[in-house]
Amino acid sequence: MRPPRGYRSEIDIKLSPDPAGPYAGAMPTIYEVASLAGVSPATVSRVINGLPVSGAYAERVRAAATKLNFTPNPTARRLRRRSSQVLALIIPTIENPFFTSLARGVEDVAQGAGYSLVLCDSDERHDKESTYLDVALAEHMAGVVLVPATNHPRLARLLERRTPVVSVDRSIRGTEVDSVLLDNREVARSATERLYARGFRRVGCITGPRETETAQQRADGWREVFSRHHPRTDPERYLRHADFRVAGGRDAMASLLTTRRRPDAVVVTNNSMTVGALETLQRERISPAEMGLACLGDLPYSVLQRAGVEVLPLPARSLGAAAARLLLDRIGGAEGPAQRIVLPIGGGPAIPDR
Protein backbone atom coordinates (compact mmCIF):
# COMPACT_ATOMS: atom_id res chain seq x y z
CA MET A 1 0.00 0.00 0.00
CA ARG A 2 1.43 3.41 -0.98
CA PRO A 3 1.74 5.77 2.01
CA PRO A 4 -0.23 9.04 1.81
CA ARG A 5 1.49 12.22 0.66
CA GLY A 6 3.39 13.85 3.51
CA TYR A 7 3.66 10.58 5.49
CA ARG A 8 6.77 10.21 7.61
CA SER A 9 7.86 6.79 8.76
CA GLU A 10 9.33 5.83 12.10
CA ILE A 11 12.72 5.67 10.40
CA ASP A 12 15.04 8.54 11.12
CA ILE A 13 18.77 8.88 11.15
CA LYS A 14 21.64 10.90 12.36
CA LEU A 15 25.04 10.88 10.78
CA SER A 16 28.51 10.47 12.22
CA PRO A 17 30.62 13.63 12.46
CA ASP A 18 32.61 14.63 9.38
CA PRO A 19 35.68 16.57 10.53
CA ALA A 20 36.38 17.75 7.00
CA GLY A 21 33.04 19.49 6.51
CA PRO A 22 32.35 23.19 7.07
CA TYR A 23 30.40 22.32 10.23
CA ALA A 24 33.17 20.24 11.79
CA GLY A 25 32.02 18.67 15.03
CA ALA A 26 28.32 18.81 14.10
CA MET A 27 26.21 16.01 12.67
CA PRO A 28 26.78 15.40 8.94
CA THR A 29 23.89 15.75 6.54
CA ILE A 30 21.73 14.08 3.93
CA TYR A 31 23.95 15.74 1.32
CA GLU A 32 26.80 13.42 2.30
CA VAL A 33 24.48 10.43 2.08
CA ALA A 34 23.36 11.60 -1.35
CA SER A 35 26.95 12.07 -2.51
CA LEU A 36 27.96 8.58 -1.40
CA ALA A 37 24.87 6.98 -2.90
CA GLY A 38 25.03 8.98 -6.13
CA VAL A 39 21.49 10.30 -5.77
CA SER A 40 19.84 13.63 -4.97
CA PRO A 41 19.17 14.84 -1.41
CA ALA A 42 15.45 14.63 -2.18
CA THR A 43 15.81 10.91 -2.94
CA VAL A 44 17.63 10.34 0.35
CA SER A 45 14.88 12.20 2.19
CA ARG A 46 12.21 10.02 0.59
CA VAL A 47 14.02 6.78 1.42
CA ILE A 48 14.68 7.59 5.06
CA ASN A 49 11.08 8.74 5.51
CA GLY A 50 9.49 5.68 3.91
CA LEU A 51 8.17 7.35 0.75
CA PRO A 52 8.11 5.54 -2.61
CA VAL A 53 11.48 5.36 -4.41
CA SER A 54 12.61 2.99 -7.17
CA GLY A 55 14.26 -0.15 -5.83
CA ALA A 56 17.73 0.52 -7.21
CA TYR A 57 17.91 4.02 -5.73
CA ALA A 58 16.54 2.87 -2.39
CA GLU A 59 19.14 0.11 -2.20
CA ARG A 60 21.97 2.55 -2.92
CA VAL A 61 20.77 4.87 -0.16
CA ARG A 62 20.49 1.98 2.32
CA ALA A 63 23.98 0.79 1.38
CA ALA A 64 25.36 4.28 1.98
CA ALA A 65 23.54 4.37 5.33
CA THR A 66 25.13 1.10 6.34
CA LYS A 67 28.59 2.22 5.27
CA LEU A 68 28.28 5.46 7.23
CA ASN A 69 26.96 3.60 10.28
CA PHE A 70 23.70 5.50 10.71
CA THR A 71 21.84 5.11 13.99
CA PRO A 72 18.21 5.94 14.87
CA ASN A 73 17.57 9.38 16.35
CA PRO A 74 14.42 9.11 18.52
CA THR A 75 14.26 12.81 19.37
CA ALA A 76 14.27 13.90 15.74
CA ARG A 77 11.75 11.15 14.93
CA ARG A 78 9.26 12.52 17.47
CA LEU A 79 9.75 16.05 16.18
CA ARG A 80 9.25 15.02 12.56
CA ARG A 81 5.91 13.41 13.32
CA ARG A 82 4.73 16.76 14.68
CA SER A 83 5.96 18.91 11.79
CA SER A 84 5.05 19.51 8.18
CA GLN A 85 7.07 19.53 4.96
CA VAL A 86 6.94 23.35 4.95
CA LEU A 87 9.65 25.87 5.85
CA ALA A 88 9.17 29.56 6.63
CA LEU A 89 11.50 32.28 5.33
CA ILE A 90 11.07 35.70 6.94
CA ILE A 91 12.90 38.58 5.24
CA PRO A 92 12.81 42.37 5.84
CA THR A 93 11.57 43.29 2.35
CA ILE A 94 10.85 41.62 -0.96
CA GLU A 95 11.62 44.87 -2.80
CA ASN A 96 15.38 44.59 -2.33
CA PRO A 97 17.01 42.28 -4.92
CA PHE A 98 19.46 41.07 -2.28
CA PHE A 99 16.68 39.42 -0.30
CA THR A 100 14.90 38.03 -3.36
CA SER A 101 18.19 36.38 -4.38
CA LEU A 102 18.61 35.08 -0.84
CA ALA A 103 15.09 33.64 -1.02
CA ARG A 104 15.94 31.90 -4.28
CA GLY A 105 18.90 30.20 -2.60
CA VAL A 106 16.72 28.98 0.27
CA GLU A 107 14.03 27.75 -2.12
CA ASP A 108 16.50 25.88 -4.33
CA VAL A 109 17.75 23.80 -1.41
CA ALA A 110 14.34 23.36 0.21
CA GLN A 111 12.69 22.15 -2.99
CA GLY A 112 15.55 19.78 -3.69
CA ALA A 113 15.00 18.13 -0.31
CA GLY A 114 11.23 17.81 -0.76
CA TYR A 115 10.13 20.87 1.23
CA SER A 116 7.88 23.78 0.29
CA LEU A 117 8.71 27.35 1.29
CA VAL A 118 6.45 30.10 2.65
CA LEU A 119 7.92 33.59 2.09
CA CYS A 120 7.07 36.30 4.64
CA ASP A 121 7.94 40.03 4.47
CA SER A 122 8.41 41.58 7.93
CA ASP A 123 8.88 45.10 6.52
CA GLU A 124 11.59 45.48 9.22
CA ARG A 125 8.78 45.53 11.81
CA HIS A 126 8.93 43.61 15.08
CA ASP A 127 5.14 43.11 15.22
CA LYS A 128 4.93 41.59 11.73
CA GLU A 129 7.93 39.39 12.41
CA SER A 130 6.32 38.14 15.63
CA THR A 131 3.08 37.37 13.80
CA TYR A 132 4.88 35.25 11.21
CA LEU A 133 6.82 33.40 13.91
CA ASP A 134 3.51 32.63 15.64
CA VAL A 135 2.10 31.32 12.34
CA ALA A 136 5.14 29.05 11.87
CA LEU A 137 4.50 27.66 15.35
CA ALA A 138 0.75 27.22 14.89
CA GLU A 139 1.16 25.51 11.51
CA HIS A 140 3.85 23.15 12.84
CA MET A 141 6.29 24.25 10.16
CA ALA A 142 9.42 22.14 10.05
CA GLY A 143 11.81 25.08 10.49
CA VAL A 144 12.39 28.81 10.02
CA VAL A 145 15.05 30.80 8.18
CA LEU A 146 14.97 34.32 9.58
CA VAL A 147 16.55 37.65 8.67
CA PRO A 148 15.78 39.27 12.03
CA ALA A 149 14.11 42.68 11.98
CA THR A 150 15.31 43.31 15.54
CA ASN A 151 18.12 42.10 17.77
CA HIS A 152 15.67 40.16 19.93
CA PRO A 153 13.00 38.36 17.87
CA ARG A 154 10.41 36.36 19.80
CA LEU A 155 11.81 32.88 19.37
CA ALA A 156 11.20 31.39 22.83
CA ARG A 157 8.07 29.42 21.94
CA LEU A 158 9.57 28.02 18.74
CA LEU A 159 12.72 26.95 20.56
CA GLU A 160 10.68 25.40 23.38
CA ARG A 161 8.91 23.34 20.71
CA ARG A 162 12.38 22.51 19.35
CA THR A 163 11.55 23.94 15.95
CA PRO A 164 14.90 24.60 14.22
CA VAL A 165 15.68 28.25 13.46
CA VAL A 166 18.58 29.61 11.40
CA SER A 167 19.38 33.31 11.39
CA VAL A 168 20.75 34.57 8.07
CA ASP A 169 22.53 37.83 7.14
CA ARG A 170 22.11 39.12 10.71
CA SER A 171 22.81 37.26 13.94
CA ILE A 172 20.53 37.21 16.98
CA ARG A 173 21.88 38.41 20.30
CA GLY A 174 21.43 36.38 23.44
CA THR A 175 19.92 33.32 21.76
CA GLU A 176 21.73 30.13 20.83
CA VAL A 177 20.58 29.64 17.23
CA ASP A 178 22.57 28.85 14.10
CA SER A 179 23.54 31.77 11.89
CA VAL A 180 24.95 32.20 8.38
CA LEU A 181 26.52 35.59 7.74
CA LEU A 182 28.64 37.59 5.31
CA ASP A 183 32.02 39.11 6.10
CA ASN A 184 30.57 42.61 6.18
CA ARG A 185 33.60 44.40 7.57
CA GLU A 186 35.82 43.00 4.85
CA VAL A 187 33.54 43.98 1.97
CA ALA A 188 33.25 47.54 3.32
CA ARG A 189 37.02 47.75 3.77
CA SER A 190 37.52 46.56 0.21
CA ALA A 191 35.05 49.07 -1.22
CA THR A 192 36.67 51.95 0.65
CA GLU A 193 40.18 50.95 -0.37
CA ARG A 194 39.13 50.75 -4.02
CA LEU A 195 37.91 54.34 -3.97
CA TYR A 196 41.11 55.60 -2.37
CA ALA A 197 43.13 53.58 -4.90
CA ARG A 198 41.28 55.42 -7.69
CA GLY A 199 42.58 58.72 -6.35
CA PHE A 200 39.66 59.99 -4.28
CA ARG A 201 40.80 61.87 -1.17
CA ARG A 202 37.89 61.86 1.31
CA VAL A 203 35.60 58.81 1.23
CA GLY A 204 32.37 59.06 3.20
CA CYS A 205 29.90 56.32 4.06
CA ILE A 206 26.13 55.81 4.03
CA THR A 207 25.06 52.81 6.08
CA GLY A 208 21.87 51.40 7.58
CA PRO A 209 20.20 51.88 10.98
CA ARG A 210 22.46 52.09 14.03
CA GLU A 211 20.75 49.12 15.66
CA THR A 212 21.20 46.80 12.66
CA GLU A 213 24.21 44.49 12.87
CA THR A 214 25.07 44.54 9.17
CA ALA A 215 24.97 48.35 9.13
CA GLN A 216 27.30 48.54 12.12
CA GLN A 217 29.77 46.03 10.69
CA ARG A 218 29.94 47.72 7.29
CA ALA A 219 30.42 51.10 8.94
CA ASP A 220 33.24 49.59 11.02
CA GLY A 221 34.97 48.34 7.87
CA TRP A 222 34.74 51.76 6.23
CA ARG A 223 35.82 53.52 9.44
CA GLU A 224 38.97 51.40 9.69
CA VAL A 225 40.20 52.48 6.26
CA PHE A 226 39.05 56.09 6.62
CA SER A 227 40.89 56.47 9.94
CA ARG A 228 44.05 55.07 8.41
CA HIS A 229 43.95 57.76 5.72
CA HIS A 230 42.76 60.55 8.04
CA PRO A 231 44.08 59.81 11.54
CA ARG A 232 43.27 63.34 12.82
CA THR A 233 39.71 63.52 11.46
CA ASP A 234 36.62 62.31 13.30
CA PRO A 235 35.12 59.70 10.93
CA GLU A 236 31.61 60.39 12.25
CA ARG A 237 31.62 63.66 10.29
CA TYR A 238 31.56 61.60 7.10
CA LEU A 239 29.16 58.84 8.21
CA ARG A 240 25.39 58.86 7.73
CA HIS A 241 22.84 56.30 8.94
CA ALA A 242 19.69 55.68 6.90
CA ASP A 243 16.97 53.03 6.61
CA PHE A 244 18.43 50.76 3.89
CA ARG A 245 15.81 52.11 1.43
CA VAL A 246 15.94 54.41 -1.60
CA ALA A 247 14.59 57.43 0.28
CA GLY A 248 17.11 56.91 3.04
CA GLY A 249 20.00 56.93 0.57
CA ARG A 250 18.62 60.03 -1.09
CA ASP A 251 18.44 61.98 2.18
CA ALA A 252 21.77 60.71 3.50
CA MET A 253 23.62 61.81 0.36
CA ALA A 254 21.96 65.22 0.56
CA SER A 255 23.22 65.51 4.13
CA LEU A 256 26.78 64.54 3.18
CA LEU A 257 26.80 67.20 0.47
CA THR A 258 26.32 69.87 3.16
CA THR A 259 29.42 68.73 5.08
CA ARG A 260 32.24 71.24 5.34
CA ARG A 261 34.99 69.85 3.10
CA ARG A 262 32.47 67.39 1.76
CA PRO A 263 33.59 63.91 0.64
CA ASP A 264 34.57 63.36 -2.97
CA ALA A 265 33.50 59.70 -2.86
CA VAL A 266 31.01 57.65 -0.82
CA VAL A 267 30.66 53.98 0.09
CA VAL A 268 26.95 53.09 0.17
CA THR A 269 26.36 49.87 2.05
CA ASN A 270 23.39 48.49 0.13
CA ASN A 271 21.92 48.69 -3.35
CA SER A 272 18.63 50.44 -2.55
CA MET A 273 20.36 53.34 -0.79
CA THR A 274 22.78 53.60 -3.72
CA VAL A 275 19.85 54.24 -6.06
CA GLY A 276 18.69 57.05 -3.77
CA ALA A 277 22.20 58.50 -3.48
CA LEU A 278 22.48 58.58 -7.28
CA GLU A 279 19.16 60.39 -7.54
CA THR A 280 20.49 63.14 -5.27
CA LEU A 281 23.71 63.47 -7.27
CA GLN A 282 21.77 63.69 -10.51
CA ARG A 283 19.41 66.29 -9.04
CA GLU A 284 22.40 68.36 -7.89
CA ARG A 285 24.12 67.83 -11.26
CA ILE A 286 27.21 66.36 -9.67
CA SER A 287 29.19 64.30 -12.17
CA PRO A 288 30.89 60.91 -11.58
CA ALA A 289 34.25 62.68 -11.77
CA GLU A 290 33.24 64.93 -8.87
CA MET A 291 31.76 62.20 -6.66
CA GLY A 292 32.81 58.55 -6.77
CA LEU A 293 30.49 55.84 -5.52
CA ALA A 294 30.96 52.28 -4.30
CA CYS A 295 27.90 50.07 -3.82
CA LEU A 296 27.70 46.89 -1.75
CA GLY A 297 25.36 44.62 -3.68
CA ASP A 298 24.15 44.38 -7.27
CA LEU A 299 22.48 47.32 -8.98
CA PRO A 300 19.80 47.40 -11.70
CA TYR A 301 21.33 47.58 -15.19
CA SER A 302 19.89 51.04 -15.85
CA VAL A 303 21.69 52.37 -12.78
CA LEU A 304 24.96 50.72 -13.79
CA GLN A 305 25.01 52.87 -16.91
CA ARG A 306 26.25 55.70 -14.71
CA ALA A 307 30.02 55.61 -15.14
CA GLY A 308 32.17 55.39 -12.08
CA VAL A 309 30.00 53.28 -9.77
CA GLU A 310 32.18 50.65 -8.08
CA VAL A 311 29.96 47.61 -7.48
CA LEU A 312 30.89 44.83 -5.06
CA PRO A 313 28.38 41.99 -5.58
CA LEU A 314 27.23 40.10 -2.49
CA PRO A 315 26.61 36.31 -2.68
CA ALA A 316 23.00 36.50 -1.52
CA ARG A 317 21.89 33.29 -3.25
CA SER A 318 24.78 31.33 -1.74
CA LEU A 319 23.96 32.83 1.65
CA GLY A 320 20.37 31.59 1.41
CA ALA A 321 21.42 28.15 0.21
CA ALA A 322 23.90 27.75 3.08
CA ALA A 323 21.24 28.76 5.61
CA ALA A 324 18.76 26.26 4.16
CA ARG A 325 21.29 23.43 4.28
CA LEU A 326 22.06 24.18 7.91
CA LEU A 327 18.33 24.25 8.71
CA LEU A 328 17.79 20.88 7.02
CA ASP A 329 20.70 19.47 9.02
CA ARG A 330 18.90 20.43 12.22
CA ILE A 331 15.56 19.11 10.97
CA GLY A 332 17.33 15.86 10.18
CA GLY A 333 18.49 15.53 13.79
CA ALA A 334 21.93 17.17 13.77
CA GLU A 335 22.85 18.16 17.30
CA GLY A 336 25.64 20.14 18.90
CA PRO A 337 26.24 23.81 19.75
CA ALA A 338 24.92 26.63 17.60
CA GLN A 339 26.93 27.14 14.42
CA ARG A 340 28.08 30.56 13.21
CA ILE A 341 29.14 30.34 9.56
CA VAL A 342 30.74 33.32 7.78
CA LEU A 343 30.73 33.32 3.97
CA PRO A 344 33.63 35.14 2.31
CA ILE A 345 32.49 37.81 -0.13
CA GLY A 346 34.78 36.72 -2.95
CA GLY A 347 33.79 33.05 -2.96
CA GLY A 348 35.55 30.13 -1.33
CA PRO A 349 34.49 27.80 1.46
CA ALA A 350 32.35 28.81 4.41
CA ILE A 351 34.33 29.70 7.52
CA PRO A 352 33.12 28.31 10.86
CA ASP A 353 33.31 31.11 13.44
CA ARG A 354 32.82 29.45 16.80
pLDDT, residue 287, reads 86
Domain limits, CATH 1.10.260.40, in the chain: 1-79
Residue 35, pLDDT score: 84
Q: How many whole angstroms separate alpha carbon 339 and alpha carbon 294? A: 32
Is the model's pLDDT at 314 over the cut of 90?
A: yes
Name the band, by pLDDT with cuts 50, 70 and 90, for residue 50: low
pLDDT for residue 5: 41
Dist CA 111 CA 331 (whole Å): 15
Instruction: Give whichever of 124-138, 227-241, 279-293 has the largest mean pLDDT.
Output: 227-241
pLDDT > 50? residue 11: no
Instruction: Write out the residue limits of the CATH 3.40.50.2300 domain(s) in the chain.
Output: 80-183+318-352, 184-312
pLDDT of residue 221: 98
User: What band does 345 get if pLDDT is binned at 50, 70 and 90?
Assistant: confident
Quote the pLDDT of residue 250.
97
The pLDDT assigned to 235 comes to: 97
d(CA 305, CA 24): 44
* pLDDT reported for residue 22: 37
> 3-state secondary structure string, the chain?
CCCCCCCCCCCCCECCCCCCCCCCCCCCCHHHHHHHHCCCHHHHHHHHCCCCCCHHHHHHHHHHHHHCCCECCHHHHHHHHHCCCEEEEEECCCCCHHHHHHHHHHHHHHHHCCCEEEEEECCCCHHHHHHHHHHHHHCCCCEEEECCCCCCCCCHHHHHCCCCEEEECCCCCCCCCEEEEECHHHHHHHHHHHHHHCCCCCEEEEECCCCCHHHHHHHHHHHHHHHHHCCCCCHHHHEEECCCCHHHHHHHHHHHHCCCCCCCEEEECCHHHHHHHHHHHHHCCCCCCCCEEEEECCCCHHHHCCCCEEEECCCHHHHHHHHHHHHHHHHCCCCCCCCEEEECCCCCCCEECC
Q: What are the phi and psi torsion angles at 181 (to 5°)?
A: -130, 165
- Candidates 1.20.120.420, 3.40.50.2300, 3.40.718.10, 3.40.50.1820; correct CATH number of 80-183+318-352? 3.40.50.2300
Q: Evaluate if residue 239 carries a pLDDT over 60.
A: yes
Is the per-residue pLDDT at 354 higher than 60? Answer: no
Give the chain's end-to-end CA distance (angstroms, integer). 47
Chain mean pLDDT for the chain: 83
Whole-structure pTM value:
0.73
Structure confidence at residue 130 as a pLDDT band (50, 70, 90): very high
| In the chain, % of residues over pLDDT 70 | 81
Among the ranges given (39-48, 209-218, 281-290), the one the predictor scored with the smallest mean pLDDT: 39-48
State the average pLDDT over residues 183-204: 96
CATH code at 1-79: 1.10.260.40
Residue 19 pLDDT > 90 = no
Poorest-pLDDT segment among 40-54, 165-179, 252-266, 320-334: 40-54
184-312 belongs to CATH 3.40.50.2300:
yes
- Per-residue pLDDT tens over the stretch 252-294: 999 999 999 999 999 999 999 999 999 999 999 998 888 999 9
For residues 343 and 13, the model is more confident at: 343
2 — pLDDT class (breaks 50, 70, 90): very low
pLDDT interval class at 24 (50, 70, 90): very low
